[in-house]
A and B are shown apart, each in its own frame.
Chain A
Amino acid sequence: MNAVYRSYGPLLGTIILLGVAVWTLAMIVGPQLFMIEQSLWRMEQPDSAVTAGMRIEELNNALSLAQYDLGALEGTTDPDKMAEREKLARSVSAMEQELTTLQGQDTAPVKVYTISNYTEMSGYHAEIFVKTIGASLMVTLIAFAVCYPVAYAAAKLAKPERAALILLGLVIPYAINELLRVFAWLMILDYQGVANSVLLWFGLPEPVRFLDSGAGVFVAMVYAYVLFMVFPIYNTIETLDTNQIEAARDLGASTWKIHSRVVLPHAKPGIAVGSIMTFMLSAGSFSVPHIMTRGTAQPWFSQLIYSKFYDSFYWNQGAAYAFTLLLVCVAFIILMMKVFKVGIRDIAK
């Protein structure tokens, strides 16, 4: 803080610090706190209101029964029945009085702080949650398997001009809106889509249901997030001194050994960053599973969150779901940092 004041002076320094503070509060802390708060309560009817409601129901039933009986005894002259009628009329007025008192009580739902939003996830939703995390891990793994060779080739094998072309080729599709790209994959993998036409032409007996099986989500997702894996890895591999690769080869190392002992360890921070980004984007992706499954396969967890918010208007549980997902993502970041033994500073690089 002192350093900021020293380099920018009191006026500019204050502006910069204020800007940082506003950004942190408004963009990071505020919305998260709001979300956490939302997830920790729900609207519930108070206990007294519940019993009162049951009593009202009961009274209403009894009342209508009594009133019916009363109507049947109308105009009687039998003294026995007269006495019975009087007794009935007294109990009706007592019930009516109680009813009025009960109805006068406050029955509006009240805000109750509880963690049940977190604990009440149904078995089905929990299964989807686990499957989403697993699938996101798979997407991350596949993206890594695809990206590492590409990044290595672009960074170390290709001539600079060709490397630029490869990277440009990777970037160009990203100039197109994500939805369009996903729809393109939908058309390719559809039951009557391009891929199936080609397969049929090659003699496959019947079209493959890519989309219903959920495989389409994988393909589209790897495609959609591949760039977030390529560039961090490319950047770190590019900083590797080529002499180190040559030195390893000169000392007799096989290609596998060169990668496992020299290139991969050097690329760790890039792999960690790429994995974190790909994983978080996949786990939180909404449009890709929404478009690619069209309800024919199990939904992604993010779709459940969406429907909690907008279909059932149950914001509190929606917030709890969303926060659970966030916790898993944070856990994943920490895990990645531990596994790859990289610190925040390496990642920031």
Chain B
Amino acid sequence: MRGKSVSLDSVSMRFGDFTAVQPTTLTIQAGEFFSILGPSGCGKTTLLRMISGFMSPTGGTIRIGDADVTALGPNRRPTALIFQNLALFPLMPVWENVAFGLEVRGVSRRDRREKAEELLALVALDGQGDKLPTALSGGQRQRVAIARALAVEPAVLLLDEPLSALDLKLRQHMRTELKEIQRKTGVTFLYITHDQGEALTMSDRVAVMRSGVVEQVGRGDDIYDNPATSFVASFVGESNRLTGTVDSISGGFATVSTRFGTLTARSGPGLAAGDKTIVFIRPERTRLQDTPDGAGLALRGTFLRRDLEGPFINLFFDCQGTPFSAHITNDSRHAAETGTDHWLRIAPEDALALPAGALARDE
């Protein structure tokens, strides 16, 4: 099996007056694990359905490898789709499910069975071929769906939030498995999700979508550390926000006046002196101190409460009316008391100033 690239050229989708996907140009490399991340209703599923062939775009062209597939139906594209609810055939035993794509291609029963067993072994379901899908656990059904999709040797595997129905432990386990299967087969994976954890852990690259627009495409680290827009910054991961005005920009750093004083932060794209800005600070990069010492701005915050997340603890502070949170590693040493004051220091390299524009409009 060998993956192929997917290129979208100004692909758009309109339903009447509503534009589900604005003209989008995007290239997914052959053999890449690519995720499209966005909240529900952002157009990611529409995009997926256009690539799979269940919807025809109202504009633009879609290429898979070198072939223009815009006008082809789903049964004539080298793609296979894994549905959110998996859509296994409940009346067929597992092996027939897996071999369905081969059956409709006229492969003989013996060869089908052989191929199905091979694929079931790939997804660690050896010997389960004669069971009905309903007799399997959620994670096993998941793997049947993957095997069924891989049976037709697709160049591109499209996955529509297939893990959303699983419980946390299984979901984490399946992430590793999906990545492993992708590595073994070399097929291009296009993964749709609203779960940033899934997107960041599995993907080679991630596209973040909102309201039919791809706002940023990049590696997980880029998306997380250097979000291009205020939406990406707030959607991916948690963040504290301070609003202010840009005084000056130099050497990639902006000086921002806030009501807590002047702050130095990394300057995001499209920011100019005089702009309204939102400064994003990740809770885990917020330094909790007993004194205001050190580079950058220090805020005085009153401790409100703590949420135990397991590996880390989320501490909530009130900084003169602005909520602020900080993550600390759960090493059982920090035992703050409600009502006590602390210093929250923001180092310049841990803060990112982005144009307030789009996000301010939303809120």
Contacts and interface: CB of A to CB of B under 8 A. Distances in A.
- On whether the two chains bind one another, the answer is yes
Interface of A: 241, 243-244, 246-254, 257, 261-262, 265-266
Interface in B146-205: 148-149, 151-152
A246 B77 CA distance: 13
Contacts of A251: 75, 80, 100-101, 104, 148-149, 151-152
A252 B105 contact: yes
Nearest to B53: A250
Most buried by A among B73, B100, B148: B100
Interface in B12-64: 52-54
Contact of A253 (B53, B81, B100): B100
Given A250-B80, A250-B81, A265 B91 contact: yes
B87 A241 contact: yes
Contacts of B152: 251-252
Nearest to B100: A251
B12 to A, nearest CB: 22
Contacts of B100: 248, 251, 253, 261
Nearest to B101: A251
B81 A252 contact: no
B87 A244 contact: yes
B103 interface: yes
Given A252-B101, A252-B152, A247 B87 contact: yes
A247 B81 contact: yes
A169 B92 CA distance: 36
Contacts of A248: 89, 100, 104
21 contacts: A243-B87, A246-B81, A246-B87, A247-B81, A247-B83, A247-B87, A247-B89, A249-B73, A249-B75, A250-B52, A250-B79, A251-B75, A251-B80, A251-B148, A251-B152, A252-B76, A252-B152, A254-B75, A261-B100, A262-B89, A266-B91
A261 B74 contact: no
B134 to A, nearest CB: 13
B87 A257 contact: no
B291 interface: no
B147 to A, nearest CB: 12
A261 B89 contact: yes
Contacts of A262: 89
Nearest to A256: B104
Contacts of A265: 91
B91 A250 contact: no
Contacts of A241: 85, 87
B54 to A, nearest CB: 6
Most buried by A among B75, B76, B152: B75
Nearest to A253: B104
Given A247-B81, A261-B100, A252 B75 contact: yes
A254 B74 contact: no
B89 A244 contact: yes
Contacts of A250: 52-54, 74-75, 79-81
A241 B86 CA distance: 10
Contact of B104 (A243, A244, A254): A254
A333 B88 CA distance: 31
A266 B87 CA distance: 13
A321 to B, nearest CB: 41
A241 B84 CA distance: 12
Given A243-B84, A251-B80, 19 more contacts: A241-B85, A243-B83, A243-B85, A244-B88, A244-B89, A246-B83, A248-B100, A250-B53, A250-B54, A250-B81, A251-B104, A251-B148, A252-B75, A252-B76, A252-B101, A252-B104, A252-B105, A254-B104, A261-B100
A256 to B, nearest CB: 9
Contacts of B53: 250
A254 B100 CA distance: 12
B95 to A, nearest CB: 14
A265 B96 CA distance: 14
5 tightest CB-CB pairs across the interface, nearest first?
A243-B87, A251-B101, A247-B87, A253-B104, A250-B74
B49 to A, nearest CB: 9
Interface string B94-131: 00000011011100000000000000000000000000
A250 B83 CA distance: 11
Most buried by B among A243, A247, A265: A247
A266 B89 CA distance: 9
B188 to A, nearest CB: 16
Nearest to B79: A250
Contacts of B105: 252
A247 to B, nearest CB: 4
A253 B85 contact: no
A26 B70 CA distance: 67
A236 to B, nearest CB: 12
B254 to A, nearest CB: 49
A261 B96 CA distance: 11
Nearest to B152: A251
Nearest to A241: B87
Contacts of B88: 244
Contacts of B76: 252
B93 to A, nearest CB: 13
Given A243-B83, A250-B52, A266-B91, A261 B75 contact: no
Contacts of B91: 265-266
Contacts of B104: 248, 251-254, 257, 261
Nearest to B85: A243
A304 to B, nearest CB: 43
Contacts of A252: 75-76, 101, 104-105, 152
